[in-house]
Structure 1
Amino acid sequence: MTEHTQLIDAVNVRITTREYDPKPIDPDLARQLGSTLNALNTLSGLDMQLVLGKPDAFATDNASGHLANAANYLALVGPKDDQESLEKAGFYGERMVLAATLYGLGTGWVSGSWDRQAAERHCRITPSQSLYLVVTIGYPADQVGYGNQDFDKLCQRQSEHRTSKSYEELTSAMSAQDRQDAPEWFKAGVAAAAKAPSAMNGQPVLFAWDKDTGDAIATLDPSVSYRSAVDLGIAKMNFQIGAGGGTWTWGDGGRFIRS
């Protein structure tokens, strides 16, 4: 049996989890998550935090049935009023989500009615910082997580979970010929980005291949009503994993230099 332990495998099976098992995250696993978070905070300059056993942040959504037993979350904390840090929160937050997926946990980027004040009470936030967003995390209620189900079935479940924009839609700024001529790594990057979560599943990030420089470019689609630096960061992370190595510059219009 093939062992699927790579981030691209997590990209191919991750779905948004809304219903959680009420059992707490295993302490050893929580420590592993904490170690990964610490490493990503060092890389990013963010202050992402793992908050466990605090369901009051999701009391409304748990009561309405929009979520079930949501009690743990990744708090994406960083400098106030800083667009680049918001993008980094999406980028490194998605990296954390994919790590959690490999550990068999479910996650969900929460853009709706979470209780910000309650969530902030459980975080360390300095006067120069703000809590950008939270990501729910825990064991899926149906126990259909990575590591305890056939990989191909999990991939199939993802494809049935939601519709994604096509390669043509995500590269709509390119000519048909350039789309066809683009290298395989670019096409693989776009395919991975198509599986990235985004607010209201709007998928607001477009990709282009610059044939003169060989770089990829990511831009926020002006035709999508809700788009944010967080979505841009999330999509860039998935693209980078799919493309198999390289480095992004930050910002709308940022370039991916293939390594």
Structure 2
Amino acid sequence: MLSEGVRGVDLWWAGQLTPIEAIETRHSVRSYTDDPLAADVVEPLRAAIAAVNEEANLNIQLALDEPRAFSGFKAKLVNFKGAQNYLALIGPECRELDGILGYYGEKLVLLAQSLGLNSCWVGGTYKVVNRAYNVDLGQKLSAVVALGYGTTAGVPHKSKAPQDVCPGYDSAPDWFQRGVDAALLAPTALNQQKFSFALAGEQDGLPVVRAATKRGAFTQMDLGIAQCHFEIGAGSTPFIWTEQ
């Protein structure tokens, strides 16, 4: 869960997609070609990673050309093929880390989509043999995201109805409904979609949005990803996050 009031840095949409288009076209892809990432893709990705790390005190890293990155038995069970580039999502160990990495990691994933890449969030299925990232003392690797040129564009995941994650959806303002709709397009572990959103009054004249999730594996990270989508869906409407 993001801290109260946090709205993250805007990244550079260097590709030909708007943020909403990136959300709508991005699906999980597990099979990739062996084409290396183009320089005009790597450069804006590295710039965005640097900006995210500086803003949120993270240590996210881009690993390139590591063909054995997803070589473990579990990875083979879920049909990972050809994945050799990835984001290593790393930050200082704390209670909020998974949610923060989910939020900022998804910003980078959507930027990658706008640059013509495909991606897949990976929790416990990866095994990095000759790992191309460093985890400093007091830091934690929470997940990785496979990146590359997919052999397919992936397919949309099944989704809950908006009312399932927001009981007051039908009477909510348009900007809030757009936020919920975008959140439901967010990737979640095992497609759990255990998050929920609600309007929770006002603070300093701004609407307050409560974001919450049930317990479970990767649910805090899933919530951070969903919050990223919600913000994009809500557009320019100002609001404040809360978990109260």
TM-score above 0.5: yes
Aligned to 2:149: 139
Of the three residues 92, 99, 102, the one matched with 2:104 is 92
CA shift in 2, pair 1:184/1:93, >3 Å: same
Aligned match of 1:226: 217
8 Å CA contact retained: 1:104, 1:139: yes
The answer (yes or no) to whether the contact 1:170–1:206 under 8 Å persists in 2 is yes
The aligned amino acid for 2:68 is D
* TM-score with structure 1 setting the length: 0.80
Give the count of matched residue pairs. Answer: 225
Which amino acid in structure 2 is aligned with residue 164 of structure 1? S
Match 1:195 to one of 185, 209, 228 = 185
Change (3 A) 1:167 1:8: same
Deviations 1:213-258 (A, max 9, x none): 6322111035xx43532111101100010001346547xx26xxxx
Gaps of 5+ in 1: 145-156, 255-259
Question: Mean Cα displacement is larger for which, 212-221 or 104-113?
Answer: 212-221
What is the CA-CA distance between 1:141 and the residue it aligns to?
Answer: 1.3
8 Å contact from structure 1 (residues 204, 227) kept in 2: no
- Give the whole-Å Cα distance in 2 for the aligned partners of 1:94 and 1:79: 18
- Consecutive unaligned residues of structure 2, counting only runs of 5 or more, are 1-14
Partner of 2:84: 71
Question: Which 4+ residue blocks in structure 1 deviate beyond 6 angstroms?
Answer: none
Bigger fraction of residues in helix: 1
Aligned to 2:227: 236
CA-atom RMSD in angstroms: 2.2
SS at match of 2:70: helix
Specify whether residues 226 and 124 from structure 1 end up closer, same or farther in structure 2 by C-alpha distance, changes over 3 A only.
Answer: closer
Report the secondary structure of 1:59's partner residue.
coil
Give the drift of 1:196.
Answer: 0.3
2:140 match: secondary structure: strand
Q: Is the 8 A contact 2:19 2:110 kept in 1?
A: yes
Higher relative contact order (CA 8 A, sep 6+): 2
* Sequence identity (%): 32
CA contact (8 A) 1:20 1:139 kept: yes
Counterparts of 1:179 and 1:21, CA distance in 2: 41
